[in-house]
Amino acid sequence: MFESIIDSNRLFLVAGPCSAESQEQLDETCQALMATGRVDLLRCGVWKPRTRPGGFEGCGEEALKWIAELKRLHGNWRFAIEVVTPRHVELALQYGIDALWIGARTTGNPFLVSELAQALQSNPVPVMVKNPLNADATLWAGAIERLLQAGVCDIAAIHRGFSISSPIQTELRNDPVWRIPIELRSMLPAIPLLCDPSHLTGCSDKIAECSQTALNLDFNGLMVECHIHPEKALTDAQQQLTPEGLSQVLKSLRHRPHTAAAPLELTILRERLNLVDNDLLKLIAQRLDISREIAIVKDANNLTTYQPSQWNSKLQNLLLEAKNIGLKEQFAKDIFDRLHLESIRVQEEQRSEGALGS
Ligand code: PEP
Ligand code: MN
């Protein structure tokens, strides 16, 4: 199911309600979605992992019966559901579910992922793996590798954003940290990457913008939550689109085929970037050479390697300068904090080499 989408220029689309609530709700939503002619795979939650107890936790096996019935009635409908335990996998296979996904709360648990992989070993179906709640590309890749090792080869990854830990208010439900899916792609280049703008943004108005960002970053598809009456949804009401809303979003998106050839202008600009990057590397090496000399002087004068007040006042000047030339302060701070840490590391290295030599 997912193998061919990495090289295709088509957007792979998974859509459907957050939860299967009744056979009618599921049927009406899926009919309208399939009528768009754009949906490859229908989604619905059957067992809902909820943050707090007491909410709607899904209809379980009952919902699997509705799906089996709808698949019987509409021969070409394919469904994906979330599985959390090996028992879920067993039931999903029993009811002929076409694909599964592993949710964000499960991906971060290697034992659970191994159990799911084992449950799939004798009868692998396509699996989508959402990112774990914390921004850790290795943990995400690890879950995919566990499935691959068990012989589950038809896999896609889904980026749904990360739990927000910073107290800084953000308008999104989850933090996109776009560098993490980019890192995953470089670790596992053959695994197609989908974006779930619904859970990422938590807001139906922001889905178009988030989806466009994903397409600009070379994602291969989307998983979007849609409900025939979003306002009545039992879960995630604020983020679900109507099927009509989904069509509008799809119309607004600019899909950029990855086979498009780079124009000469872009090649020239990239060359210019390369020259600047090489200069940056040389400057960083020069900076570290000076740090080593500083370490020798500090050692001779019995001074500590880290001098907080000196660093803080220097950093303030640098940040002012950064602002004056139009750089974001936080960006400049991140870079200089990192350079400073490396400077401390080489100074310590220099001091211990000096001590060994004396
Ligand atoms: C879902 O897709 O319905 C879901 C619960 O997502 P996540 O695991 O990303 O929170
Ligand atoms: Mn949901």
Q: 79 pairs with which residues across the strands?
A: 42
Residue nearest to atom 3 of ligand 1 (CA): 18
Q: Provide the pLDDT confidence category of residue 60 given band limits of 50, 70 and 90.
A: very high
Task: Report, as an integer, the average pLDDT of 153-173.
Answer: 87
Of the candidates 209, 197, 210, the one whose C-alpha atom is nearest the C-alpha of residue 236 is: 197
Q: What is the pLDDT of residue 355?
A: 80
Q: Provide the pLDDT confidence category of residue 169 given band limits of 50, 70 and 90.
A: low
DSSP 3-state assignment of 71? helix
Q: Please state which of the ranges 31-40, 49-58, 315-324 shows the lowest mean pLDDT.
A: 49-58
> Which atom of ligand 1 is found nearest the CA of 236?
3
Q: Which residues surround ligand 2, an ion (CB under 5 A)?
A: 18, 236
Helix (H) or strand (E) holding 228: none
Question: Is residue 135 over pLDDT 90?
Answer: yes
Task: Report, as an integer, the average pLDDT of 57-84.
Answer: 97
Q: Please state which of the ranges 139-143, 162-166, 248-252 shows the lowest mean pLDDT.
A: 162-166
> Which atom of ligand 1 is found nearest the CA of 199?
9
Task: Report, as an integer, the average pLDDT of 247-271.
Answer: 88
Give me the helices (H) in 202-263, please: 207-216, 243-252
Task: Report, as an integer, the average pLDDT of 145-158.
Answer: 97
**Beta-strand runs (E) in the chain:** 12-16, 41-43, 79-82, 99-102, 127-130, 155-159, 193-195, 221-225
Q: Provide the pLDDT confidence category of residue 248 given band limits of 50, 70 and 90.
A: very high
* CA 327 vs CA 177, 225, 270, 319: distances in Å: 20, 37, 21, 9
Question: Is residue 259 over pLDDT 70?
Answer: no
Question: Is residue 260 over pLDDT 80?
Answer: no
Residue 33 near residue 42 (C-beta atoms within 8 A): yes
Ligand found nearest the CA of 132 = 1
Residue 197 near residue 206 (C-beta atoms within 8 A): yes
Q: What is the pLDDT of residue 280?
A: 97
| DSSP per-residue letters across 115-180 | HHHHHHHTS---EEEEPPSSS-HHHHHHHHHHHHHTT---EEEEE--B---SSS--SSSSB--THH
Mean pLDDT of the chain, nearest integer: 95
Q: What is the pLDDT of residue 50?
A: 84
Q: Provide the pLDDT confidence category of residue 166 given band limits of 50, 70 and 90.
A: low
Task: Report, as an integer, the average pLDDT of 145-151.
Answer: 97
Q: What is the pLDDT of residue 261?
A: 81
Label residue 261 exposed, middle or buried (CB < 10 Å: 0-12, 13-18, 19+). exposed
> Which atom of ligand 1 is found nearest the CA of 49?
5
Q: What is the pLDDT of residue 112?
A: 97
Residue nearest to atom 1 of ligand 1 (CA): 18
**pLDDT-above-70 percentage for the chain:** 98
Distance 18 CA to ligand 2 centre (A): 4
Helix (H) or strand (E) holding 90: helix 86-94
**pLDDT-above-90 percentage for the chain:** 89
Q: Please state which of the ranges 2-6, 72-76, 92-96, 201-205 shows the lowest mean pLDDT.
A: 2-6
Task: Report, as an integer, the average pLDDT of 136-164.
Answer: 97
Distance 105 CA to ligand 1 centre (A): 8
Q: What is the pLDDT of residue 64?
A: 98
Distance 49 CA to ligand 2 centre (A): 10
Task: Report, as an integer, the average pLDDT of 325-345.
Answer: 96
Total Cβ atoms within 10 A of residue 270: 10
Q: What is the pLDDT of residue 102?
A: 98
Residue 33, both tokens: 């979605």
Residues 98-113 pLDDT 10s: 999 999 999 999 999 9
Q: How far apart are CA 353 and CA 28, in angstroms?
A: 73
Q: How far apart are CA 205 and CA 107, in angstroms?
A: 28
Q: Please state which of the ranges 109-113, 161-165, 276-280, 342-346 shows the lowest mean pLDDT.
A: 161-165
